[in-house]
Amino acid sequence: MKAAPVAFLFLGETLLIPHLFPVVEALADARADLPLDLWVSTSTHEDLLAGWTAHMPQVRVRRAPGFRRIAVTALGERPVLPPKLPMLLRLAPMLAHTSVVVCAEQTSLWLPRLFPFLRTRFVKTSHGVGSMSARDDRRRMAAAYTLVPSEQERATYLTRGMVPERIEATGYVKAAFRQRTPARALFADDRPVLLYTPHWQAHRSSWPAWGPQVVERLAHQRGWNVILAPHQRLIERAPEVRDVLAHVANLPHVHVDLDSFATVDGSYTAAADLYLGDTSSQLIEFLIQPRPAVFLNAQARDWADDPSYAMWRAGEVVNDLADLLPAIERAPARHADFAAIQHNLATAALGDASGAGAARAADAVLRVLANPRPRR
């Protein structure tokens, strides 16, 4: 009898793809006889995944109900997504024919939460890490099994009541993503590269209070090449970002990217020599290789004893915009003060960042497939 397929849901933002696709690759390598259905919401997702899986005969890229064709100018360009809840409800009957569904976001967990009688088991893998990751969403408890990068992350869920037998630390899955966009050769000279990444949520972000002024100061300095590649959701929530960045996009030392796949695939965190930001989990990814970091306390937080701001111990914290450029200038010389903290922070949050996490995640999916109550 032919095995029922394992379904992967690529219905959300393209930023989720690097957290999920390495598990597809590892599962295809482990079980060539296991059918894999990759459900996609847009032609952007379809084009990317179809290209990467052309050599995998057991993989089908399938269009979810409500699939949207996107007119784009570059492969992987950020798509406008169709409404996800109606798509999920229409997809549910099709998913009922598979034993296991793997997803990387909470929205898809509405299905097991609203329909607990479904025999299909949902495996949720993480896409955000760090001290400010949202972990209290009740939909998370509807997953049959949860994959997180580290034991530290696992402990946060255990304290919230998740059953120990239903959660496993695998290591950082995105570290195994191999389809990055080459991003180092963006500038004509070899000046060091700074990446500015404000958080997309206003209450956690430096953008509403300081963003335009930070961009202006970075545009006027000449010691650093600058990458401005904000989070997809920041652009959606703060449309003025496009106008602000358009004014500096033609400068030779500034690279602006608002829509390409490179903004989400880890290319820019790998290319940068210095991280400038606030509370984005991209910092943790950046610190896989410890490098200078500067943080913007635009909301005047009393952060020193707040565990939510533990990441700010990894670099100098700027409390006044007048200190921004001096802090950036001295960051390389001060890096030795923070290197050990950075290493410990990244290791604790990400666990194994060697790339082996994808194979461990695939093993976990196979255990769920074989056993309704998988154990570590």
Please check whether residues 320 and 364 belong to one and the same domain: no
Residue 376 belongs to some domain of the structure: no
Please check whether residues 341 and 208 belong to one and the same domain: yes
Please check whether residues 94 and 199 belong to one and the same domain: no
d(CA 4, CA 106): 24
State the amino acid at position 90 in one-letter form. R
Mean pLDDT of 201-226: 95
Give the number of other CB atoms < 10 A from CB of residue 65.
Answer: 16
Check which CATH number belongs to the domain holding 365 and give it: 3.40.50.2000
353 has pLDDT over 70: yes
Model pTM greater than 0.95? no
pLDDT confidence bin for 10, thresholds 50/70/90: very high
Please check whether residues 86 and 112 belong to one and the same domain: yes
DSSP string, 257-318: -SSSGGGTSSHHHHH-SEEEESS-THHHHHTTS---EEEE-TT----TT-GGGGGGGGSEEE
Mean pLDDT of 66-82: 87
Please check whether residues 79 and 228 belong to one and the same domain: no
Summarize pLDDT for 161-211 with one digit per residue, the tens: 889 999 999 999 999 999 988 776 889 899 999 999 999 899 999 999 999
Please check whether residues 26 and 152 belong to one and the same domain: yes
Please check whether residues 335 and 239 belong to one and the same domain: yes
Q: How many domains does the chain have?
A: 2
List alpha helices for the chain, DSSP H. Answer: 17-30, 43-52, 84-95, 110-114, 151-158, 207-220, 232-237, 240-246, 267-271, 282-286, 324-350, 357-370
Q: Are 131 and 308 in contact (CB under 8 A)?
A: yes
Please check whether residues 73 and 144 belong to one and the same domain: yes
Host domain of residue 274? 193-350
319 has pLDDT over 60: yes
Percentage of the chain surpassing pLDDT 90?
76
Winning range, highest mean pLDDT, from 77-86, 131-140, 229-238: 77-86
Confidence (pLDDT) at 82 = 95
Confidence (pLDDT) at 136 = 59
What average pLDDT does the structure give for the chain? 91
Please check whether residues 345 and 360 belong to one and the same domain: no
Please check whether residues 152 and 209 belong to one and the same domain: no
Rg for the chain (alpha carbons), in Å?
A: 21
Residues 6+ away with beta carbon under 8 Å from 112: 118, 120, 121, 122, 142, 143, 144
